[in-house]
Amino acid sequence: MIRISGIRLDIEDGIDELPYKVSKILKIEPKEIVDLNIFKESIDARRKGKIDFVYTLDLSVDNEEKIIKTVKNKNVSVTPNMEYKYPHSGKVPLETSPIVIGSGPAGLFSGLILAQMGYKPLILERGEDVDNRSKTVEKFWKTGKLNLESNVQFGEGGAGTFSDGKLTTRIKDIKCRKVLKELVKAGAPDDIMYSFKPHVGTDILKRVVKNIREEIKRLGGNIIFNSKVTDFKIKEEQIYGVEINDEEIIKGEAVILAVGHSARDTFELLYKRKISIIQKPFAIGVRIEHPQAIINKAQYKQFSNHKRLGAADYRLTYHASNGRSVYTFCMCPGGNVVAAASEEGKVVTNGMSEHARDKENANSALLVSVVQEDFEESHPLAGMYFQRKWEKKAFEIGGGGYIAPAQLVGDFIKDVKSKNLGDVNPSYKPGVKLTDMNNCLPSYISYAMKEGIINMDKKLKGFGMKSAIITGVETRSSSPIRIVRDSETLESINVKGLYPAGEGAGYAGGIISAAVDGIKIAEKIISKYKSI
């Protein structure tokens, strides 16, 4: 096939114009195009008064080699082969099914690849299946009654199930496309294959993860819910099984640890079992919430209500005078701020959007970097303790019941306690308590955040609007630890057969990168062992 990049369409042009654009570049008739697919679509809104859609296309025509040689255009090339190649099976006999702990993106995709290659994985998930989990989470949001084992952090699909379902990533790996193809096969929208900023939305993502689970089972694998790993069975620096629910021991010489960034009891167990873990920097802050119409207007100007444009998003960064990085993260257009606690007496916020992104508000994490020196001790879990400290503080200031502390941006900048809401109705449930957010965060975080808001408003008009709402605290942007693994085998450096994977292990950040890391782990197991 031939790949052509940089094809522009005005916002008023339909995609049916693409064959004519292609024919002019290749100097052929449109009818000579046998097949045409969009590889990537992006939006260029940089020029005042104009918005273009920019495309990279893959197409089939007769005499492709001749056409490529004839057409002198740097944007015309041979389409690269981007098909995923499965690894060859190894020779070591595998006595038991590989065990996968956790069914987030890393766990699901490691399990899927293993199942596709005939390894019949067993996935252990501490939480509920996605349907029952959804009911449990909705109950928590309505009543403040938290289920410690099945919540926004734990359960089928992992933390990403209750998010915007963003599929953007900075990693460049052919496995990313494998992940997208499997998501589409499981029911995700086709456009995630080419969208510049692909997303699924929590409503569709629930169906997708369920379909992946069923495919794993169809291929001979299995998944057991409500199965919390309570111990690792290790002998002579080799894992030989796990204990679940303080009762049953399941044997396994290949165990993938894909527990997510909030499995704090598991982190404590790893430390107790002397499995090598180290501190890792991360970020904390708040969720900032604006009317979506304000963001649309700032980004798209007079085109903000155009039928071809959905809810606008943003990504902002700032380097504060105290040396801290301030940035927006996991921006959710047309979404809600959600309660994401997984421990009693702790308030945690996150963001979520459905596929339509049609809610009134836009929200994003507004985060400030923290490093090991901020944790005040050298303990491997000191970052986790640091998170807990500020989550507990937020719970106390909120007054209990998982009510979150909140403040108007204008009052936050002026160090004045908020007393009344303005133009933004906070979406966080069970509810918010207006207060002074300076009391909910370290002073150096608040200082950097204030500078960041003022300067980000210069880049995105309205970002610093006085009546915007900040709700806290956001502490789970990434894992506070790294489970150290061998760079070649991807096993724990001091426990053979244990494969730390994904975001919780400190090797990913987001749905796609976690899924890709899970695939890498599966490939290592496949390359070593024979299929069952």
pLDDT in tens, 232-260: 999 999 999 999 999 999 999 999 999 99
Averaged pLDDT, 352-376? 96
Structure tokens at 308: 């071809």
Q: Calculate the average pLDDT of the chain.
A: 96
Per-residue pLDDT at 72 exceeds 90: no
Residues pairing with 352 in the sheet: 336
What is the pLDDT, as a whole number, of residue 330?
94
CA dist., res. 314 & res. 309, Å (int): 14
Contacts of 317 (CB under 8 A, 6+ apart): 325, 326, 327, 328
User: How many residues are given for the chain?
Assistant: 532
**β-strands 317-319, 349-352: how paired?**
unpaired
Mean local confidence (pLDDT), 178-197: 95
306, 325 Cβ separation under 8 angstroms: no
Percent of the chain exceeding pLDDT 70 equals 100
**Residue 346, both tokens:** 């702790």
Query: What ranges do the domains of the chain cover?
Result: 2-76, 99-278+486-528, 281-474
Contact 309, 522 (CB under 8 A): no
Contact between 145 and 401 under an 8 Å Cβ cutoff? The reply is: no
Q: Above 80 in pLDDT, residue 171?
A: no
Residue 449: predicted pLDDT: 98
Specify the CATH class of 99-278+486-528 in words.
alpha beta
Q: What does the alpha-carbon distance between residue 445 and residue 88 come to, in Å, rounded to a whole number?
A: 49
Q: In this model, does residue 378 exceed pLDDT 90?
A: yes
pLDDT band of 274, cuts 50, 70, 90: very high
197: number of Cβ within 10 Å:
16
Query: Which CATH code for domain 2-76?
Result: 3.30.70.2700
Q: pLDDT tens for residues 326-361? A: 999 999 999 999 999 999 999 999 999 999 999 999
Residues 13 and 436: their CA atoms lie apart, in Å, by 49
> For the chain, what percent of residues have pLDDT higher than 90?
93
**Which residues lie below 8 Å from residue 482, measured CB to CB, with a gap of 6+?**
277, 278, 279, 280, 505, 506, 507
Terminal CA-CA length for the chain: 38
